[in-house]
């Protein structure tokens, strides 16, 4: 006869009870309540720290063509955003709605995605604009929409493709992406002068332009981690829907290119596009079906799904509002997370 101690028996029974009480892994959940103009898909319990349970997605504007490049202007309390295919730069303000800021934006005569795209502010508070039509980055003094001046329009004497999105590093260097989306035939367009679709940086004195990376087929949205040790860049290619990460070396150049998250198998509408990072290092990336929220280790926490597929996002108001430019509309959601307003 095998003798079993009372302690061992209790241990076995406790283990059996623990196993029988285990719940199955949490499935993908979308709250069925009324949260306004969309919903949030929860993939991980950690999402609750970032998105309030009683969240609400607001639709602030509609009737546009293809909205992009949102940027909150703290001095004045309003949002600027682009309409790439509508060839316009718009202003939205609380209680006022949408008004024309610059329309038409490009006056070169051709059609397509020729309007402005990514927007940011320089250290002096000037608006810095990615221009698809004129294939350049320009500067405009605020608040008046006066004459734009050229920041950069060529690399080694060859015209840029169509600068898409941009981000300043704290040392004053301007990092930007240059896919061919502003060209009618993209890579096959006879007007394309560069062989690459690159990631660049421009020196603070705007005299030196460096090609940092050329391995992505369609580099798009771009943002730094809070400590600027990592640069994230979206790749808007249907054949490689991914967000890439690069180590930022001490001299500001890039190293160790790697896939942060691959969404190529996703079938929902939309591609990896604009992105922002909160103060804790979580990422908010527009992509298939909505705004994908990632922890800094690449874990997908959830997806904000407004009524239309978003192309870009920006922090606004007090830093806890996430503005989303989505096809023909403009949306906003209040979060627990906080981002740095540019």
35: left (phi over 0), alpha (psi -120 to 50) or beta: alpha
Q: Provide mean pLDDT across the span 182-197.
A: 97
Q: What's the total number of domains in the chain? A: 1
91-126 pLDDT, tens digit each: 999 999 999 999 999 998 788 899 999 999 999 999
Q: What are phi and psi of 16, to 5 degrees?
A: -65, -40
pLDDT, averaged across the chain: 92
Q: Decide if 341 is inside a domain.
A: no
Q: Decide if 26 is inside a domain.
A: no
What pLDDT is stored for residue 12 in this prediction? 35
Q: How far apart are alpha carbons 123 and 192 in whole angstroms?
A: 32
The DSSP line for 159-200 is E-S----EEE-TTSPEEEE--STTSTTGGG-TT---S---EE
221-259 pLDDT, tens digit each: 999 999 999 999 999 999 999 999 999 999 999 999 999
Q: Decide if 10 is inside a domain.
A: no
Q: Decide if 15 is inside a domain.
A: no
User: Does an H or E element contain 201, and which?
Assistant: strand 199-202
Q: Decide if 16 is inside a domain.
A: no
| Model pTM above 0.85 | yes
Cβ atoms of 290 and 273 within 8 Å: the answer is no
Burial of residue 248 (number of CB atoms within 10 Å: 0-12, 13-18, 19+): buried
Q: Decide if 67 is inside a domain.
A: yes
The CATH code of the domain that includes 224 is 2.120.10.30
Q: Decide if 136 is inside a domain.
A: yes
Q: How far apart are alpha carbons 247 and 323 in whole angstroms?
A: 28
> By residue range, what is the domain housing residue 80?
35-334
Sign of CA dihedral 257, 181, 125, 276: negative
Q: Decide if 23 is inside a domain.
A: no
């Amino acid at each position: 006869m095998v003798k079993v101690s009372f302690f061992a028996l209790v241990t076995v029974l406790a283990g059996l009870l623990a196993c029988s009480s285990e719940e199955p892994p949490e499935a993908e959940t979308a709250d069925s309540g009324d949260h306004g103009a969309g919903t949030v898909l929860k993939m991980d319990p950690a999402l609750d720290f970032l998105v309030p349970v009683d969240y609400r997605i607001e639709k602030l504007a509609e009737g546009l063509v293809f909205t992009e490049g949102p940027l909150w202007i703290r001095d004045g309390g309003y949002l600027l955003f682009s309409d790439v295919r509508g060839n316009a730069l718009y202003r939205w303000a609380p209680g006022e709605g949408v008004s024309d800021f610059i329309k038409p934006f490009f006056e070169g005569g051709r059609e397509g995605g020729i309007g402005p795209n990514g927007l940011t502010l320089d250290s002096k508070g000037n608006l810095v604009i990615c221009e698809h039509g004129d294939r350049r980055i320009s500067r405009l003094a605020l608040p008046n929409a006066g004459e734009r001046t050229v920041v950069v329009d060529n690399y080694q004497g060859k015209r840029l493709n169509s600068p898409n999105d941009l981000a300043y590093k704290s040392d004053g260097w301007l990092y930007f992406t240059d896919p061919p989306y502003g060209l009618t035939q993209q890579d096959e367009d006879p007007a394309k002068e560069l062989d690459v679709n690159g990631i660049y940086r421009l020196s603070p004195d705007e005299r030196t332009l460096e090609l940092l990376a050329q391995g992505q087929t369609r580099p798009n949205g771009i943002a730094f981690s809070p400590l600027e040790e990592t640069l994230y860049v979206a790749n808007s290619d249907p054949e490689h829907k991914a967000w890439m990460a690069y180590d930022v070396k001490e001299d500001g150049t890039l190293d160790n290119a790697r896939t942060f998250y691959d969404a190529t198998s996703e079938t929902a509408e939309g591609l990896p596009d604009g992105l922002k990072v909160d103060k804790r290092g979580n990422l908010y990336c527009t992509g298939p079906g909505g705004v994908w929220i990632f922890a800094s280790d690449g874990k997908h926490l959830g997806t904000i799904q407004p009524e239309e597929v978003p192309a870009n996002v920006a922090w606004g108001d007090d830093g806890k509002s996430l503005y989303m430019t989505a096809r023909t509309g403009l949306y906003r959601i209040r979060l627990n997370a906080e981002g740095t307003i540019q």
